[in-house]
């Protein structure tokens, strides 16, 4: 008889042999999903029987993970901040590093405050939805050039009951958006230099959409467009939060300073890597 703990151990061993980065956690997540149990069940009832059907589902999941498909793609969802986000083939699998943006916006806009947030390159909607979910008076607009990504974001917004406060628009960054219309702008644009993509882990290279990764020859294409445009669509005195690659602080800060932003600085993520460039549009009269 297979039990939860035996299934977990066997899955972990297979994933370790396949050189998966986090075999223990991934094996647990796959056991939870295949067997319909929680982490607590595995710990408190490790000898619970796993049915043949559950084992077959688990085998399929483990085989896919061993071929380096990410858990979020296998299960079609990923936890991000305090929400669960559906992740289809046309969106970036949301990363914990991007939670820095959510944390910063929530710190800047207290609960109960009404504000409108623009998310450029909304993808699955992870960042925008995590913010709006915790700020009941907030409204959001998410823009993406990919119609399929927008469909994914739309489904997530509906599942979270947030579709009444979110608008989603197909567009090329800020094209068509009016000047001075947002209280805060966030973006996690594609920022990987084109030539680097081929050397990335298969989980990223083969499963995240190219459109979500490719930042052009030096990785900075999107920021060149976004820096002046973000300042154009922000209200006077309003902040922006833009995710960057770990080695892009100097270049992206410079682009925003050149575009006229005030108070430009970079916030690190939990691994102490430069992660989010922030600043303000100059306040009126300054
Ligand atoms: C790195 S992903 C970020 C997705 C999501 N915001 C997140 O953090 O998980 C970048 C997103 O930008 C979108 N994108 C790329 N070029 C764009 C453009 N010119 N205009 C609008 N969105 C674009 C991609 O389709 C992708 O969804």
Regarding the beta carbon of 173 and ligand 1, being less than 6 Å apart is answered yes
**Phi-psi category of residue 161: left, alpha or beta, with phi > 0 → left and psi -120 to 50 → alpha:** left
Q: Which atom of ligand 1 is nearest to the CA of 190?
A: 1
Distance 188 CA to ligand 1 centre (A): 7
Interval 44-65: pLDDT, tens: 999 999 999 999 999 999 999 9
Q: Is the distance from the beta carbon of residue 147 to the nearest atom of ligand 1 less than 6 Å?
A: no
Return the bridge partners of 117, or none: 140, 184
Find the angle CA(103)-CA(120)-CA(220) to the nearest 5 degrees.
95
The C-alpha angle with vertex 183 and arms to 263 and 87, in degrees rounded to 5, equals: 100
Above pLDDT 90, what percent of the chain? 98
**CB of 123 closer than 6 A to ligand 1?**
yes
pTM (predicted TM-score) = 0.96
pLDDT at 23 over 80: yes
**Which residue's C-alpha comes closest to atom 26 of ligand 1?**
212
Mean pLDDT over 208-233 rounds to: 98
Give yes or no for residue 286 having a pLDDT over 90: no
| 187 in contact with ligand 1, CB cutoff 6 A | no
140 CB within 6 A, ligand 1:
no
Q: What's the 14 CA to ligand 1 centre distance in angstroms?
A: 34
Atom of ligand 1 nearest to the CA of 142: 6
Residue located nearest, by CA, to atom 18 of ligand 1: 172
DSSP label at residue 117: E
Q: What is the mean pLDDT of residues 155-168?
A: 98
* Cα-to-centroid distance, 45 and ligand 1 (Å): 42
What is the pLDDT at residue 284?
77
Query: Is the CB of 142 within 6 Å of ligand 1?
Result: no
For ligand 1, say whether the CB of 143 is within 6 Å of any of its atoms. Answer: yes
Q: 97 Cβ partners below 8 Å, 6+ apart?
A: 243, 269, 270, 271, 273, 275
* CA pair distance 102, 236, nearest whole angstrom: 21
Number of C-beta neighbours around residue 30 at 10 A: 26
Residue 285 pLDDT more than 70?
no
If pLDDT is split at 50, 70 and 90, which confidence band does 273 have? Answer: very high
At residue 282, the 3 state secondary structure works out as coil
């Amino acid at each position: 008889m297979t039990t939860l703990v035996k299934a977990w151990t066997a899955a972990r061993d297979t994933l370790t042999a396949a050189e998966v980065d986090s075999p223990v956690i991934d094996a647990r997540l796959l056991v939870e999903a295949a067997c319909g149990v929680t982490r607590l069940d595995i710990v408190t009832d490790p000898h619970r029987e796993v049915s043949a059907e559950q084992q077959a589902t688990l085998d399929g999941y483990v085989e896919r993970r061993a071929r380096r498909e990410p858990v979020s793609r296998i299960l079609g969802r990923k936890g991000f901040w305090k929400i669960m986000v559906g992740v289809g083939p046309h969106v970036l699998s949301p990363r914990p590093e991007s939670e820095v943006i959510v944390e910063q916006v929530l710190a800047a806009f207290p609960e109960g405050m009404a504000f409108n947030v623009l998310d450029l390159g909304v993808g699955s909607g992870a960042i925008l939805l995590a913010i709006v979910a915790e700020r009941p008076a907030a409204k959001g607009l998410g823009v993406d050039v990919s119609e399929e990504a927008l469909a994914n974001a739309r489904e997530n917004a509906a599942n979270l009951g947030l579709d009444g406060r979110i608008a989603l628009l197909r567009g090329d960054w800020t094209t068509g958006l009016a000047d001075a219309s947002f209280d805060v702008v966030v973006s996690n644009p594609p920022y990987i230099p084109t030539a680097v993509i081929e050397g990335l882990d298969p989980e990223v290279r083969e499963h995240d959409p190219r459109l979500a990764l490719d930042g052009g020859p030096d990785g900075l294409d999107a920021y060149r467009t976004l820096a002046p445009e973000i300042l154009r669509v922000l209200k006077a005195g309003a902040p922006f939060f833009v995710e960057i690659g770990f080695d892009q602080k100097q270049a992206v800060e410079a682009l925003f300073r050149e575009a006229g932003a005030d108070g430009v600085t970079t916030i690190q993520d939990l691994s102490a890597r430069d992660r989010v460039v922030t600043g303000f549009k100059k306040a009126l009269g300054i």
